[in-house]
Structure 1
Amino acid sequence: MSALGSGGRPHIVLIGAGHANLYLMRHRHRLADADMTIVDPGAFWYSGMAAGALGGAHEPAEIRVDPVRLARRYGLASIRGRLSGLDRSERKARLTDGRTLDYDLISLNLGSSAPTLTAHPDGPRVWAVKPIARLIALRHQLTSAYERGEHPALVVVGGGASGVELACNLRSLAVRYASPATITLISSTRKLIPTAPAGARRWLEGYLRRIGVVVRVGMRAVSHHRDGLLMAEEGVPMGQDALRLLECEHVIHAGGLAPPGALDGLGLTLIGSRGLAVHSTLQSVDDPDVFAAGDCAALVEHALPRLGVYGVRQAPVLLANLKARLQGSPLQRYRPQAQALTILNLGQDQGLAIRGRLWWAGRSSLLWKHWLDERFMTRYRH
């Protein structure tokens, strides 16, 4: 199929509508000397509000942005599609449907994926923290079950921030429908959110007890079973006697994120499970005309946690460097902040804010989170 794109002017192609590429769209006027196209398979779902949407505190429309509408607003071309590969010698981006786009510069902002164990054909429904649209589908399924008077048992796999948020907001959803649903959180680590201050972990453990979330630490998920989830104690040699069955109707995996599969077919260097290898200028180590930011990018100099705040902070550097690359001028270097603020939505008007060794919990933390989230979303909703 013939290539898409404009002749005569440089063409910047944005692949994926993550935090950084949304920023580029909003500041499209600063790249007015180039044509720009956004390629995305669908809506941008704001991960910072995903747990709250699962728990019923937000409606799906509140956490979703339509890149096509934004493209019209800011003067970009938009294409519904998925990237399948790059022909860097010909400067063409290939899409899964066979179309190609000519490009001069590429900005990859593809987010991350959430691996899960293979589902049992007759076993529990299996869900993952990403894509976020699946969490919305889970909310609809559980809401229907509660309205029918059913009380499904739920298991969340993962003792990090995402797993804790999901478990708490699943409890919030059950409380909204006065359902006594059983919710179990299992963690392969012996401590929930191991990087959190000890005081914050103690407060969190007490909160989970108060709201009725059962916590099983030091347990790893092994496989799905017809009747639920098979798990084993972390560090114990594998064997039939080591397995324990946790009966449930739904399993939600939040045990870690991985680079999106689309990166595998690009012929560019990846760093293990971290993502596309990029310099501090956010350029691929293999190609100075391929940029990446957010969860799909792995800085050679720093291993960063997968938090949206890093994609947000990378965005101005990405914009400046795309412009500099077009003009042939020196590029900026992205220097990650030493500490990032994390605020967990724990449902039922409770939050937990952590920054380095500082932490504070309660309603004020959640109100602060809501303010930050709304400030971000307002930039792209209107």
Structure 2
Amino acid sequence: MHRAPLPFTHDVVLIGGGHTHALVLRRWGMRPLPGARLTLINPGPTAAYSGMLPGHVAGHYDRDILEIDLIRLARFADARLILGAADHIDLAQRVVLIKGHPPVSFDRCSVDVGITSDMPDLPGFADHGVPAKPLGPFAASWSAFVAQGGGDAVVIGAGVAGAELAVAMAYRLQSEQQHGKVSLIDNATALSEATAGARHQMLSQMRKLNIDLIENAAIAQVASDHIELADGRRIPSRFTTGTASAFAFPWIAQSGLDLHEGFICVDDRLRSSDPAVFAVGDCAHMRATPRPKAGVYAVRQAPVLYHNIVASLTDRRLRRYRPQADYLKLMSMGRKAAVAQRFGLTLSGPLMWRWKDRIDRKFIEKFRNLPQMPASELPALHTIGLRETLGDQPLCGGCGAKVGRAALRDALAPHAGTLREDITPLPGDDAALLHVGGARMVLTSDHLRAFSNDPVVMTRIAAIHALGDIWAMGGTPQAATATIILPRLSPDLQRRTLSEITATAHQTLRAAGAEIVGGHTTMGDELTIGFTITGLCDRDPITLAGAQAGDALILTKPLGTGVLMAAEMAGQSKGRWIAAALAHMTRPQADAAQVLADAHAMTDVTGFGLAGHLLGICEASGLAAHLQLDAIPLLAGAPELAGAGIRSTLFPQNRALTPDLPEGGRADLLFDPQTAGGLLAAVAPNQADILVAALRDLGHDAARVGFLTDGPPRITLDPD
């Protein structure tokens, strides 16, 4: 008997990808709470680990090693990840507000957004300074500064964090033989919170690195190339950062929660003044046991937060969090040495660095080597061929889950043609031309099996994917109906999910000039979203059959969504690759279609891959095509994943369409099924470069990828 997935009944929302939430996601992946739908909200696809930041600044670690891949972690936890910054919690409505995203409802919420070291009251810092926190933007800015040749730099704030950054920056500039002096400025005494021994070691290292330590000095303003002190001195600086402040993000002040100096007050169960809202990490203030802002507390809060979220939804007793009285402090010294202090004792040298490096690597490896959850075994008794049909990888979503072109053609062939005079089939196109009075109308329909747990992302992609046929035929989108299959949800979660889907669908389709006029919903095992769309044509539609010998071929989006989504489902992709792919899939093509309005033939590249859809143009127009493989744009990560042998489930059927084409390397991406892919247009050769330039000016990664010639319908590569 088939057992349907258990329905979701409650929403758990984690705001911020801090260390505590990252560890909670890992625990959730190993032991999820049935009935709870987990959501993570974070501005980007990764979160930087603070413990390794000084080592990265000094050049000991690549950027990748200090980042926690939240997309991969969310997939492991079966959580949806919303890439956006929360800017308000509405406690009355129980929703989180995110710019550019419908409100996200919650039954339980936790906040782990860290702090900012921005200095809004220091003149010029907002324009010319780089806060040390959040860590991700700081690391990116520092890498860009070093890549451009470095120069003078200033760190404002001579506490432990500022001292670590200063010695790391000075070491990096000197090791790469870049000119520039590092200055460390504080309005009080440097390293006042460190032990005498640790302070002595760090000050000695600063002198060795020729760092200019300026104590008891007030700053008047920050300029683009210097810092002006209150006494009139000017300190040269092309890169100015600050660690002197630790502010809560401003939106927290408007939350209505009890605060202490802007930070969310929590009890010993990590609950805020609203029992449905927890807070952890640096953005929280432990009312009963105040502690300094340090990552060690955030790490130890994770098991308590996980337990208490689960307990609050299962009517069980919450656990107390008891922070340790002291903890091991390890400070980087620029070179591969460190200072360790605890209980008033101080040790320093390369051995302490190796100790710190081991601790940091052990922590970050928790997110790189995620536990392998056992796959469901086939029953002992099953039909011949079941294992082969099932395959050795999960069924892809998006266009990777579609039926192959050959099977579809065979199924439709017996029913070709029409008995109605007001319908004109468009050979090879996924649409038809309707004659309504004196108007010409094109009609198309498409739907996608979800590959993202975020219904907003899936709705936007599904709408743009369905609109692709209208744009490819030169039509203006007019009206749409939606078909939505929801996974099993409680009535409250049905309402929440449908609200997000309909809000996104209306926004996306209205931006394209169309209106949703109705739809249909059902419940099923998984989320599926589709649209049937009509479009108006003020002239004959662009079809596959109009291409001419000599035409140039233009592609408006890079390839690779199929292999990237397949890798993401298997936990083998990088978060930043997936974030970039999603950005391409949610990029509308209306303006590109206008640029290509005079194309002789055009199609959107979707499930059958570039080779399959180009073959459709060749067959309909009676021409041969030549592709220049190196000219075809590819999404970041797609060549690496294809080279590693990762394939979408539709790949074999797409590959069989053009067996004469070579196999392996970049060529395999010709058969990769695309979701919300680009337009492929056949245009007059003397207009191709002009059109590509116009598309690039609009922000499309367009390219001239080949041409058409006389000959039997076939595709060859790199004829020159």
Both proteins in one fold, TM over 0.5: yes
Aligned counterpart in structure 1 of residue 260 of structure 2, from 271, 291, 304: 271
What amino acid maps onto 2:107 in structure 1?
Answer: D
Within 5 Å, give how 1:175-186 maps onto structure 2: 175-186=174-185
Corresponding residue of 2:171: 172
Larger Rg: 2
Aligned counterpart in structure 1 of residue 310 of structure 2, from 323, 329, 337: 323
- Residue by residue, what CA displacement relative to the aligned partner does 1:203-247 show, whole Å, maximum 9, x if unpaired? 221221112111111113231146511224xxxxxxxxx333223
- Residue by residue, what CA displacement relative to the aligned partner does 1:74-104 show, whole Å, maximum 9, x if unpaired? 2112211222222323322222224112211
Shift in alpha-carbon separation, 1:288–1:145, aligned structure 2, 3 A = same
Return the offset for 1:112: 0.8
SS of the residue 1:325 aligns to: helix
Moved more, 85-94 or 213-222: 85-94
Percent identical among aligned pairs is 28
Corresponding residue of 1:342: 329
1:258 to 2:280 alignment: no
Structure 2: runs of 5+ lacking an equivalent: 1-5, 370-720
Corresponding residue of 2:124: 119
Corresponding residue of 1:37: 39
Aligned counterpart in structure 1 of residue 78 of structure 2, from 68, 75, 80: 75
Contact 1:15-1:40 within 8 A present in 2 as well = yes
Shift in alpha-carbon separation, 1:367–1:120, aligned structure 2, 3 A = closer
Shift in alpha-carbon separation, 1:227–1:67, aligned structure 2, 3 A = closer
Corresponding residue of 2:577: none
Relative contact order higher in (CA < 8 Å, ≥ 6 apart): 1
Shift in alpha-carbon separation, 1:317–1:152, aligned structure 2, 3 A = same
Aligned counterpart in structure 2 of residue 213 of structure 1, from 189, 211, 214: 211
Return the offset for 1:120: 7.2
1:283 to 2:271 alignment: yes
Moved more, 365-374 or 257-266: 257-266
Moved more, 200-209 or 161-170: 200-209
Contact 2:130-2:242 within 8 A present in 1 as well = yes
Shift in alpha-carbon separation, 1:87–1:133, aligned structure 2, 3 A = closer
Return the offset for 1:17: 0.7
Shift in alpha-carbon separation, 1:141–1:11, aligned structure 2, 3 A = closer
Runs of 4+ in 1 over 6 A off after TM superposition: none
Shift in alpha-carbon separation, 1:298–1:17, aligned structure 2, 3 A = same
Contact 1:276-1:284 within 8 A present in 2 as well = yes
User: How many Å separate the matches in 2 of 1:39 and 1:249?
Assistant: 34
Shift in alpha-carbon separation, 1:126–1:226, aligned structure 2, 3 A = closer
Corresponding residue of 2:9: 9
Shift in alpha-carbon separation, 1:99–1:204, aligned structure 2, 3 A = same
User: How many Å separate the matches in 1 of 2:139 and 2:320?
Assistant: 37
> What is the aligned-residue RMSD (CA, Å)?
2.0
SS of the residue 1:101 aligns to: strand
Shift in alpha-carbon separation, 1:265–1:180, aligned structure 2, 3 A = same
Corresponding residue of 2:154: 155
Contact 1:50-1:135 within 8 A present in 2 as well = no
What amino acid maps onto 1:17 in structure 2?
Answer: G
What amino acid maps onto 1:10 in structure 2?
Answer: H
User: How many Å separate the matches in 1 of 2:288 and 2:233?
Assistant: 41
User: How many Å separate the matches in 2 of 1:314 and 1:244?
Assistant: 45
Aligned length: 359
Moved more, 335-344 or 243-252: 243-252
Corresponding residue of 2:88: 85
- Residue by residue, what CA displacement relative to the aligned partner does 1:120-161 show, whole Å, maximum 9, x if unpaired? 79x9x4222112233323333332343xxxx62211111111
Aligned counterpart in structure 1 of residue 62 of structure 2, from 41, 45, 59: 59
Shift in alpha-carbon separation, 1:9–1:204, aligned structure 2, 3 A = same
What amino acid maps onto 1:298 in structure 2?
Answer: H
What amino acid maps onto 2:62 in structure 1?
Answer: E
Structure 1: runs of 5+ lacking an equivalent: 1-5, 233-241
Return the offset for 1:180: 4.0
Contact 1:84-1:266 within 8 A present in 2 as well = no
User: How many Å separate the matches in 2 of 1:196 and 1:100?
Assistant: 44
User: How many Å separate the matches in 1 of 2:312 and 2:39?
Assistant: 17
Moved more, 349-358 or 54-63: 349-358
Return the offset for 1:373: 0.5
SS of the residue 1:349 aligns to: strand
SS of the residue 2:335 aligns to: coil
- Residue by residue, what CA displacement relative to the aligned partner does 1:243-266 show, whole Å, maximum 9, x if unpaired? 332232222111122112231232
Return the offset for 1:8: 5.1
Contact 2:91-2:255 within 8 A present in 1 as well = no
User: How many Å separate the matches in 2 of 1:180 and 1:89?
Assistant: 56
Contact 1:228-1:248 within 8 A present in 2 as well = yes
1:26 to 2:23 alignment: no
What amino acid maps onto 2:332 in structure 1?
Answer: N
User: How many Å separate the matches in 2 of 1:243 and 1:226?
Assistant: 16
Corresponding residue of 1:239: none
Corresponding residue of 1:237: none
User: How many Å separate the matches in 1 of 2:11 and 2:270?
Assistant: 18
Shift in alpha-carbon separation, 1:304–1:120, aligned structure 2, 3 A = closer
Please give the TM-score of this superposition, normalised by the length of structure 1. 0.88
Within 5 Å, give how 1:122-141 maps onto structure 2: 125-141=128-144
What amino acid maps onto 2:268 in structure 1?
Answer: S
Please give the TM-score of this superposition, normalised by the length of structure 2. 0.48
